Amino acid sequence: MASTHTEHRTGAAAMAGELRERLGPDRVLTDRTGLKAYECDGLTGYRVVPALVALPESTEEVAAVVAACAREGIPYVARGAGTGLSGGALPVADGVVVSLARMRRILDVDLPNQRMTVEPGVTNADITRAVAAHDLYFAPDPSSQTVCTIGGNVAENSGGAHCMKYGFTSNHVHAMTLVLPDASVVTVGGDGTEVVGPDLRGAVIGSEGTLAIATSVTVRLLRRPEAVRTLVADFTSPAAAGEAVSGIIAAGIVPAAVEMLDALAIEACEAAVHAGFSLDTAAALVVELDGPADECDEGFAQVERICREAGTTGIRFATDPDERALIWKGRKAAFAAMGRISPDYFVQDGVIPRTRLGEVLARMQEMADEAGLRVANVFHAGDGNLHPLVLYDAAVPGESERGEHLSTAIAELCVEMGGSITGEHGVGTDKACSMPKMFSEDDLAVMRRMRAAFDPAGISNPGKIFPTPRLCGERPGPYRVHPLEAAGLIERM
Amino acid sequence: MTATAQRHDVARPATVAETAAVLGDSAGTVLVRGGGTKLDWAGRVPDPDLVLDTTGLTGVLTHNPGDMTASVRAGSTLTALQEHLAASGQWLALDPPDAGATLGGLLAAGDSGPSRLRYGGLRDHVIGVTLVLADGTVARSGGHVIKNVAGYDLAKLMYGSLGSLAVVAEVVLRLHPRPAASLTITGPADAAHATAAVLALAASPLEPAAVGWLSGEPGTLLVRVDGTPGPVRASGTRLVALLAGLGIDAAPLPAADAATAWADQAAGVRGEPGETIVRVAGRPGDLAALAGHAGDAAGRAGVGFRLVSSAGMGLHTVRLHGGTAPAHAQVLAALREHARSRGASVLLRSRSPELDDLVDALGPPPSTAALLRSIKAQFDPAGRLAPGRFQPWF
C-alpha cells in the first residue's frame, strides 16, 4: 500500500502543473482548504480528502484530465453538486476529483421535438426552468432537484416522487457524450429511440460514475400535464394507508405519485415547513394524479372513494397550485427536517414489493425496539421505495454504531422480502458491502466484466458499488467497523 | 438453407440450468434462436455449429398482480404472456409486430410497437434479467421491484445486442393495467400534414398512446388514446378538432376497424418476402424530410417504396420492392447518407442475398466500436455467440 501511496502523490503532483497549463491555474486545486470542500458528498459520514481537484469546462478538458489520470494510473471521481446520499462521489485518497460544476451551459434546445442538450453541471430544476414557458418539463424530480445536476442524475439513474408513472432518468435521456476511462470521447444513444447495437446509453445510466463521465446529455422533455390533482388522506396506521394504495393500484389507476409519511416523519416535516399535515395522525398519504383533465378528474374521484373505503380519518384537497407546492415542500423537506426531532440520523433507501408493506413495517418496528432507537418512515408508497430514517444521538456512546447496524439491517431486510438495498440513492460506498446479500458471486463477477470492458485499469471511481475485502472485511455480510476508518484513512462524523 | 441446417446441432433447453449446461459443455459457434422472426436483421451469422433454440424455455414463473410484476422464462412468446396477464386485467405494455416473437428475442432485438409512445419500450419494462454467458456462467441483474438501482443493469446491454453477448434466459417485467377503453382516430394525411400532426399532438395535453402513419396517396394517419370510456371519448373529440385545425379530416374508427388498422400497420412493419426492409430512427419532426428523401431516392432507382411509421417516436420502417439489387443498394446508400446528416440511425433488416453481396450490412462504425469490441471480448471472449452479426464493428 505504501508504495502505491507514494506513487499517486508523485503522479498527482506531476499532473498539477500539466493540468494548470491546460485548464488555467484557478481551475486546479491542490491546497488543503480547497480540497477539503470536496471530501464528502451528501453522505457526510465518509470523508476522504483528494490529492487534486480539476474543474474542466469542456468535453476536451475533461478528456485531458482523464488522459493524464490514465497515463499516471491515478484514480478519479466525477462529481456534480455532491448531493448524493450513498458516498458515490467520495474521493479516493491521493486521487483526483473531476468536478463538472463549471459545465453549466445549455447547448441546444429543440422545442418541436421536445429535447434539450445540456452540460452535466446543469441542475435538474434548471432544465425545466429553461423550457417552462413552453409548457415543457423534465420529469425526474429527486428531492434535491434545485441543486442536484443532470450529470449526477445520470450517474445515479435518479427517480423522485413521480417516477412511478414517469420512470427514472434512464427513461428520459436520448443520448450522451461520454469520456471513457481511456480518455476517448464517444456518443451513446442517438436522435431516435432506437440505435443499432446494445443500449450503451442505458448501461451507463445508473453506473455511478464507474464506467464513464457524461459531458453532454440530451434529455427528453414532456408536455406539462393539463391537470394535476393532489390530496392528503390521514389514516390510523401506515398499514391502513397501504391498503388504500393497494386499492388504487387494483383499480387500474397509475398515480403520478403516492407518498406516505408516518407520525414521526410528519412531526419533523411540520416543525420544519408547516405544510399543514395533521399532527395527530399515524400516517398521511399524499396521492397525486395528472393527465388530461377528464381522465384526471375521473380517477381522482375514484381515489377519494378508495381512501374513504380504506377508513381515512380525513382528506385534505390541494385546492390551488400554491397548496400543492406546500404539500410537496413538506414531503421533500422530510430528510432535512429530521434535525428538528433528532440530533443525528441515517437515511435508508430500501425497496420492497409494495404488497409486503405491512409485514416489513412490523419487522422494522421490532428491530427498532430491539436496538432501542426510533425510526421515522417516508415512503414512495406506490413503488415500495422506503426511506426509513434511523434516529440517533452521536453524543450517546454506542448509539451511532447501533443506528448504523439497524440501518443496514433494514436494507438487508428489504432484500429478504424480495426487494432491493437501494431504490434511488445508489450503492456507492455506503452499500457496497450489502451487495452480496442481493447478488451472487457470479452476478457480481459478470458486472465486473462489464466494468472491465469500460475501464480495464479500474481508475474511474474505484471502490464503489462492488464489495472488496479491503472495504468490507474478509467476510461479506452484516456491517462491521470500516477497515478504512480503523486505519484512520477515513473519518466519520 | 437446408444444406447448412443439416449441419447444425440443435439444443432446446427448458431451464436456466440446462441452458448453462448446453453452453458450458460445448465449444464452437452458437446462434440463439427464439421465435425466429428477426434472424435476418443486421449481419448474417454463417453456419453456426449449434442452434440454441429457446422455445422450450417457457412459462410464467411468478405473477404478482398487486405489485404489477411478473417473471417469465425468456422463450415464452409475448402472445402467451399477454393471455396469462389478461386474466388479471394487466398487460406487458408492448405491441411489437410479430405475434410469434419471444420475450428474449424482443429484448435482444430491441423491438417495440406503436404503444411505445406512451408506455416505453421493452428496455423500460424489464426490471430484472437472468443471462447465460457463452461459457455457461449464469448471472442476474436487477430484481423483482420496479425501483432498483443496485448494480449494473445488464438487461440494457442485451437490448439491441441481437444475441451477440449472452443468452437471455429469464426476464422480470413491469406490468401495466390493461386500458378499459381505447379509441383510434384516422384520417388521410400526406407526410407534411402527418409531421405537423405529430408535433402538434406532442405539444398538446392529450397524451396519445400511439401515433402511426402509412405512406400512400396521400397517406393515412392513425392516433390512439387509451383510458376509461368517458375520458377517451372526450379526448377523441378534442383530437378530431385538433387535426381539423391542421387540415386533416379525421374521424373515430369503430373498435373492429381500429384493430384492423393497427394490424395492417404491424403487417406493414413486418413487410413481405422479397422486400428490403430498413429501419430508420430519428427525430419525430423529420418525418416529412425522410419520406421525401426516401421517396425521391426510390423513384430515381426505379424501386417501389412504402413507409410505415411510428411517427410519434420517429421510428420508420422503409420497405423497398421491385427493381434490382443494385437499385436497392443505391436507395440504402441514400438513406444512410440522409440519416447521417440528420443524426438518425439505420438498421438493415430483411433483404435478399443478392443485396448482401453489394452492401455492408451495418454501415459505418459508430464512435463506440472499440468499446463494443471490448464488451464483446469480456462477455464472449471466444466469439461463440452470433459471429458476424455486428461485423465489422465487433
Share of chain B above pLDDT 90, in %: 96
Q: Are B96 and B26 in contact (CB under 8 A)?
A: no
pLDDT of residue A143: 86
Q: Are B167 and B104 in contact (CB under 8 A)?
A: yes
Q: What is the Cα–Cα distance from B391 to B394, expressed in whole angstroms?
A: 5
Q: Nearest-CA distance from A465 to chain B in Å?
A: 7
Q: What is the Cα–Cα distance from B394 to B162, expressed in whole angstroms?
A: 12
Residue A300 touches partner B, C-beta closer than 8 Å: no
Q: Are A76 and A98 in contact (CB under 8 A)?
A: yes
Q: Which run of H or E residues covers position B155?
A: helix B154-158
CA nearest neighbour of B318 among B359, B286, B348? B348
* Size of the A and B interface in Cβ pairs below 8 Å: 273
Distances (CA, A) of A84 to A337, B254, B387: 17, 52, 42
Q: Nearest-CA distance from A181 to chain B in Å?
A: 11
What residue type is assigned to position A362 of the chain? A
Residue for grid cell 467497523 = A481
Instruction: Name B227's bridge partners.
Output: B181
Same domain, A243 and A277: yes
A427: in domain: no
Reported pTM = 0.95
Q: Nearest-CA distance from B271 to chain A in Å?
A: 19
CATH class of the domain defined by B1-178+364-394: alpha beta
Question: Do B271-356 and B1-178+364-394 have the same topology in CATH?
Answer: no
Q: What is the Cα–Cα distance from A88 to A431, expressed in whole angstroms?
A: 10
A443: in domain: yes
Is the Cβ pair B66, A168 closer than 8 Å?
no
Same domain, A155 and A219: yes
Residue A157, helix vs strand vs coil: coil
Domain that holds residue A406: 227-416
CB contacts, 8 Å: B371 with chain A: 180, 186, 200, 453-454
Same domain, A71 and A170: no
Instruction: Name B51's bridge partners.
Output: B10, B31
Cα B54-B59-B63 angle, rounded to 5 deg: 135
CB contacts, 8 Å: A456 with chain B: 374
pLDDT of residue A479: 39
Number of residues in chain B: 394
Best mutation site among B90, B152, B157 for testing chain A: the one with the most A CBs within 10 Å?
B152
Same domain, A86 and A134: no
The average confidence (pLDDT) of chain B is 96
Task: Please tell me the total count of domains within chain A.
Answer: 4
Q: What is the Cα–Cα distance from A109 to A224, expressed in whole angstroms?
A: 17
Residue A426 touches partner B, C-beta closer than 8 Å: yes
CB contacts, 8 Å: B367 with chain A: 185-187
Instruction: State yes or no: pLDDT of B1 exceeds 50.
Output: no
Same domain, A120 and A24: no
- For residues A323-347, give the mean pLDDT: 90
Instruction: State yes or no: pLDDT of A408 exceeds 70.
Output: yes
Residue in B closest to A385 by C-alpha: B147
Q: What is the pLDDT of residues A422-452, one digit of tens each?
A: 999 999 999 999 999 999 999 999 999 999 9
Q: pLDDT confidence of B8, banded at 50, 70, 90?
A: confident
CATH architecture group of domain B181-267: 2-Layer Sandwich (3.30)
A449: in domain: yes
- For residues A156-183, give the mean pLDDT: 95
Same domain, A84 and A136: no
Is the Cβ pair A252, B89 closer than 8 Å?
yes
Which distant-in-sequence residues (6+ apart) come within 8 Å of A202 by Cβ? A170, B123, B153, B156, B159
Please return the burial class of A476, using the count of CB atoms within 10 Å of its CB with bins 0-12, 13-18 and 19+. middle
Domain final residue, candidates A370, A392, A416: A416
Best mutation site among B63, B135, B145, B342 for testing chain A: the one with the most A CBs within 10 Å?
B145
The average confidence (pLDDT) of chain A is 92
CB contacts, 8 Å: A169 with chain B: none
Q: What is the Cα–Cα distance from A27 to A103, expressed in whole angstroms?
A: 12
Same domain, A93 and A184: no
Q: Are A460 and A98 in contact (CB under 8 A)?
A: no
Q: Are A214 and A177 in contact (CB under 8 A)?
A: yes
Q: What is the pLDDT of residues A82-99, one digit of tens each?
A: 999 999 999 999 999 999
A277: in domain: yes
Instruction: State yes or no: pLDDT of A204 exceeds 80.
Output: yes
Q: What is the Cα–Cα distance from A421 to A468, expressed in whole angstroms?
A: 17
Instruction: Respond yes or no on whether the N-terminal peptide bond of residue A142 is cis (omega within 30° of 0).
Output: no
Same domain, A50 and A127: no
Is the Cβ pair A298, B231 closer than 8 Å?
yes
Q: Give A347-406 as a DSSP string.
A: E---B--GGGHHHHHHHHHHHHHHHT-EEEEEEETTTTEEEEEEEE-TTSTTHHHHHHHH
Is the Cβ pair B143, A423 closer than 8 Å?
no
Q: What is the Cα–Cα distance from B30 to B384, expressed in whole angstroms?
A: 6
CB contacts, 8 Å: A249 with chain B: 66, 68
- How many CB atoms neighbour CB B185 within 10 A? 25
pLDDT of residue B103: 98
- For residues B102-118, give the mean pLDDT: 97
Q: Nearest-CA distance from A178 to chain B in Å?
A: 10
Is the Cβ pair B342, A191 closer than 8 Å?
yes
CB contacts, 8 Å: A115 with chain B: 283
CB contacts, 8 Å: A112 with chain B: 199, 202-203, 285
Distances (CA, A) of A55 to A18, A66, A97, A154, A188: 14, 12, 9, 19, 24
Same domain, A333 and A457: no
Cα A409-B175-A140 angle, rounded to 5 deg: 65
Which distant-in-sequence residues (6+ apart) come within 8 Å of B380 by Cβ? B133, B134, B164, B165, B166
Q: Nearest-CA distance from A43 to chain B in Å?
A: 17
Instruction: Identify the CATH number of the domain in which residue A17 sits.
Output: 3.30.43.10
Residue A448 touches partner B, C-beta closer than 8 Å: no
Instruction: State yes or no: pLDDT of A2 exceeds 70.
Output: no
Q: Which run of H or E residues covers position A471?
A: helix A469-472
Is the Cβ pair B145, A353 closer than 8 Å?
yes
pLDDT of residue A476: 40
Q: What is the pLDDT of residues B281-315, one digit of tens each?
A: 999 999 999 999 999 999 999 999 999 999 999 99
Same domain, A246 and A380: yes
pLDDT of residue B6: 52
A241: in domain: yes
By Cβ distance, the residue of B149, B346, B370 closest to A206 is B149
Q: Mutual orientation of helices A321-332 and A263-273 as an angle, nearest 10°? A: 120
Is the Cβ pair A193, B393 closer than 8 Å?
no
Q: Nearest-CA distance from B140 to chain A in Å?
A: 5
Instruction: State yes or no: pLDDT of A3 exceeds 50.
Output: no
Residue in B closest to A207 by C-alpha: B152
Is the Cβ pair B156, A225 closer than 8 Å?
no
Give Rg (Cα) of chain B: 21
pLDDT of residue A470: 80
Topology given in CATH for the domain delimited by B271-356: Alpha-Beta Plaits (3.30.70)
Q: Nearest-CA distance from B176 to chain A in Å?
A: 8
Same domain, A370 and A358: yes
DSSP secondary structure letter of residue A141: B
pLDDT of residue A474: 52
Residue A166 touches partner B, C-beta closer than 8 Å: no
Same domain, A79 and A23: yes
A493: in domain: no
Instruction: Name B224's bridge partners.
Output: B184, B210
Q: Nearest-CA distance from B380 to chain A in Å?
A: 10
- For residues A68-89, give the mean pLDDT: 96
Q: What is the Cα–Cα distance from A426 to B206, expressed in whole angstroms?
A: 35
Q: How far is CA B8 from the centre of its chain?
A: 27
A423: in domain: no
What residue type is assigned to position A485 of the chain? E
Residue A301 touches partner B, C-beta closer than 8 Å: no
Instruction: Respond yes or no on whether the N-terminal peptide bond of residue B177 is cis (omega within 30° of 0).
Output: no
Instruction: Identify the CATH number of the domain in which residue A212 sits.
Output: 3.30.465.10
φ, ψ (nearest 5 deg) of residue A261: -125, 135
Q: Are A314 and A279 in contact (CB under 8 A)?
A: no
CA quadruple B309, B315, B321, B327: dihedral positive or negative? Answer: positive
Domain final residue, candidates A39, A68, A99: A99
Q: How far is CA A335 from the centre of its chain?
A: 13
Q: Nearest-CA distance from A10 to chain B in Å?
A: 30
Instruction: State yes or no: pLDDT of B324 exceeds 60.
Output: yes
Residue A94, helix vs strand vs coil: coil
A396: in domain: yes
Domain final residue, candidates A73, A99, A125: A99
Share of chain A above pLDDT 70, in %: 94
Best mutation site among A446, A448, A460 for testing chain B: the one with the most B CBs within 10 Å?
A446
- For residues B222-231, give the mean pLDDT: 97
φ, ψ (nearest 5 deg) of residue A238: -60, -35
Which distant-in-sequence residues (6+ apart) come within 8 Å of B242 by Cβ? B200, B201, B204, B206
What residue type is assigned to position B243 of the chain? L
CA nearest neighbour of B241 among B210, B200, B296? B200
Q: Are B132 and B104 in contact (CB under 8 A)?
A: no
Share of chain A above pLDDT 90, in %: 86
